[in-house]
């Protein structure tokens, strides 16, 4: 088991390193750059652009910029080929590289530490992701149970029609629609944001949270209810369920003790991992609801070609994603002894 975890961990690290190279290259290939804001601005001259490129080291080759980003520029030769102008004139301003957990400074946010910007927004993202997951479970599991128990009858059909319908429409679009109808025309929910300015009480925050959490949970509870329906039907056809019925247990007892317990197993074990996945996937909802989390930051970073910020967000979200998958796998094998990775992988 330990060997498996170590092996998977190392594989994940390697995967991440490769991902950073790909990410860095792709971002550099995108048209424009951090100085794009000066494009077509008659107040600047070419000399201004060149001066700023040198200052921020954007005139260096992409591999050198990658090295500086990944491993730091303080150990690179003190020449303009290797170091940014800022690092040359002030060694304190050198980037130390992600390997030493220095994610660098943001271009768009004018030298603020990238990590600081991200940490500032994490609570909001966590809150939304957690609420979303909570609602997914609370709505999705009962629906899945009802669907399975009434298989082929009207409750099942109704639930399936609704879920399929919701599944065909992008959730962010539903969010925008609800925001305009419920918020704009009826004034039932706030038009985005996390709190009323100057308020920020629990109820106020909850009021702001309801719509974003509900909408971002749609995908979750649809998925949960369908998987649970499938799992339940699977378990219902098992011999031990028939045995339980045969030995005269009340149907309720059979459902709760035998069917549900087994059908829910994959959820319980995977929840932690799923949470991390939800966390790394809430960008669109944050944009739609003006939620001050990492999603908005990501869009800003991409639009302004803020390489360090983009890369940091990229690394963090792939880290969360990979960690999430890893957790799901490991926990699953812990809970279900039949899953033995030793033989599979080894």
Partner 1 sequence: MPNKIQRYLFFTVGMMALAAVLYACGPANSSPTTNSNSAAPAATNTSAPAADAATATPDSSQDTVKQVVEQSGAAQATQMQGVSVSSDEDVVSPRTHLGGEYHDVATADAVSFHPYLTTDTTSGSYQGMVWAGGLLRLDENTLEYKPNMAESYEISDDGLTFTFHLRHDMLWSDGEPITAQDFKWTYDQVKNPDNGFPYLSQLDFITAYEAPDDYTLQITIDQVYAPALGQMSGLITPLPKHIWEKLDWQDPEKNPEINSPTVVSGPYKLIEWKRDQYATFEANDKYWYHGAPNISKYTIEIVPDQDVAYQKMKSGESDTGDITPEKLDEARKLPNINVYEWWPAAARWSYIGLNMREGFATSDINVRHGLSYAIDKNLLTDQVMLGQAKRLCSIYPETSWVYNPDVPCFDYDVQKATDAFAQAGYTLKDGQMVDKDGKQLELKLIYGPNTSKVRELMAVTVQDYLSKIGVKVDIQALEWSSFLDALHAAQPDWDMYIGGWSATIEPHIMYTIWSEENIPDLNSVAYINKDVEKLFEEGGATYDTAVRKEKYGEVQKIIAEDQPYIFLFYQKAWSGQNKRIQGIEPTALGIGWNSEDWYIEATQ
Nearer to partner 1, 78 or 161 (CB): 78
Taking CB under 8 A as the rule, which mask of x and - marks residues 36-55 in contact with partner 1?
xxxxxxxxxxxxx--xx--x
- Considering the complex, state which of residue 235 and residue 309 has its C-beta at the smaller distance from partner 1: 309
**Nearest approach, Cβ of residue 155 and partner 1 (Å):** 37
Nearer to partner 1, 144 or 292 (CB): 292
By CB under 8 A, residue 85 contacts partner 1: yes
CB of 131 to partner 1, least distance (A): 18
Judged by CB under 8 A, the chain residues 20 through 39 that form the site for partner 1 are 30-32, 36-39
Q: Cβ 145 to partner 1, closest distance in Å?
A: 36
Distance CA 295, CA 106 (A): 16
Stretch that binds partner 1, among 4-12, 136-144, 302-310, 325-333 (CB under 8 A): 302-310
- Which one of 229-237, 241-249, 259-267, 289-297 is the stretch in contact with partner 1 (CB under 8 A)? 289-297
Binding to partner 1 (CB under 8 A) within 95-154 occurs at 108-113, 116, 120-121
- Among the residue ranges 71-79, 89-97, 146-154, 256-264, the one whose residues contact partner 1 (CB under 8 A): 89-97
The helix-helix angle for 202-236 and 154-168 (nearest 10°) equals 120
HEC assignment per residue over the chain: CHHHHHHHHHHHHHHHHHHHHHHHHHHHHCCCCHHHHHCCCCCCCHHHHHHHHHHHCCCCCHHHHHHHHHHCCCCCCCCCCCCCHHHHHCHHHCCCCHHHCCCCECCCCCCCEHHHHHHHHHHHHHHHHHHHHHHHHHHHHHHHHHHHHCCCCHHHHHHHHHHHHHHHCCHHHHHHHHHHHHHHHCCCCCCCCCCCCCCCCHHHHHHHHHHHHHHHHHHHHHHHHHHHHHHHHHHHCCHHHHHHHHCCCCHHHHHHHHHHHHHHHHHHHHHHHHHHHHHCCCHHHHHHCCCCCHHHHHHHHHHCCCHHHHHHHHHHHHHHHHHHHHHHHHHHHHHCCCCCHHHHHC
Residue with Cβ nearer partner 1 (177 or 334): 177
Number of residues that bind partner 1 (CB under 8 A): 56
Q: Do the Cβ atoms of 59 and 81 come closer than 8 Å?
A: no
- Footprint (CB under 8 A) of partner 1, residues 225-284: none
Q: Which of 298, 304, 317, 333 binds partner 1 (CB under 8 A)?
A: 304
Which residues ranging from 162 to 221 are in contact with partner 1 (CB under 8 A)?
179-180, 183-184, 187, 191-195, 197-198
In the complex, what is the shortest distance from the CB of residue 45 to partner 1, in angstroms, rounded to a whole number? 4
CB of 336 to partner 1, least distance (A): 42
Q: Which two tokens stand for residue 171?
A: 């959730």
Which residues are near partner 1 by CB under 8 A? 30-32, 36-48, 51-52, 55, 85-86, 89-90, 93, 108-113, 116, 120-121, 179-180, 183-184, 187, 191-195, 197-198, 287-290, 292, 296-297, 300, 303-305
């Amino acid at each position: 088991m330990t060997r498996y975890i170590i092996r998977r961990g190392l594989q994940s690290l390697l995967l991440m390193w490769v991902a950073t190279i790909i990410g860095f290259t792709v971002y550099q290939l995108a048209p424009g750059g951090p100085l794009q804001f000066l494009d077509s601005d008659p107040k600047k001259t070419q000399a201004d652009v060149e001066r700023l490129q040198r200052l921020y080291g954007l005139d260096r080759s992409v591999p050198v910029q990658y090295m500086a980003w990944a491993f730091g520029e303080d150990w690179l030769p003190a020449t303009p080929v290797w170091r940014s102008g800022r690092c040359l004139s002030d060694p304190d301003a050198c980037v130390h590289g992600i390997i030493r957990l220095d994610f660098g400074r943001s271009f768009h946010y004018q030298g603020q530490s990238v990590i600081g910007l991200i940490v500032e927004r994490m609570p909001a993202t966590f809150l939304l992701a957690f609420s979303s997951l909570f609602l997914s479970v609370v709505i999705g599991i009962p629906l899945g149970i009802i669907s399975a128990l009434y298989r082929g009858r009207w409750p099942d059909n109704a639930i399936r029609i609704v879920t399929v319908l919701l599944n065909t429409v992008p959730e962010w679009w539903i969010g925008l629609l609800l925001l305009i109808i419920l918020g704009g025309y009826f004034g039932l929910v706030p038009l985005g944001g996390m709190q009323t300015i100057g308020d920020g009480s629990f109820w106020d925050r909850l009021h702001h949270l309801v719509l974003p959490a509900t909408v971002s949970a749609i995908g979750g509870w649809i998925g949960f209810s369908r998987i649970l329906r499938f799992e339940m039907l699977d378990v219902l056809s098992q011999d031990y369920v028939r045995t339980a019925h045969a030995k005269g247990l009340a149907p309720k007892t059979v459902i709760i003790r035998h069917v549900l317990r087994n059908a829910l197993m994959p959820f319980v074990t995977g929840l932690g991992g799923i949470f991390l996945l939800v966390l790394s996937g809430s960008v669109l909802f944050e944009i739609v609801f003006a939620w001050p989390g990492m999603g908005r930051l990501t869009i800003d970073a991409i639009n302004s070609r803020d390489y360090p910020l983009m890369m940091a967000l990229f690394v963090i979200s792939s880290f969360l994603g990979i960690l999430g998958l890893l957790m799901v796998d490991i926990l699953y094998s812990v809970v279900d002894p039949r899953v033995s990775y030793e033989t599979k992988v080894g």
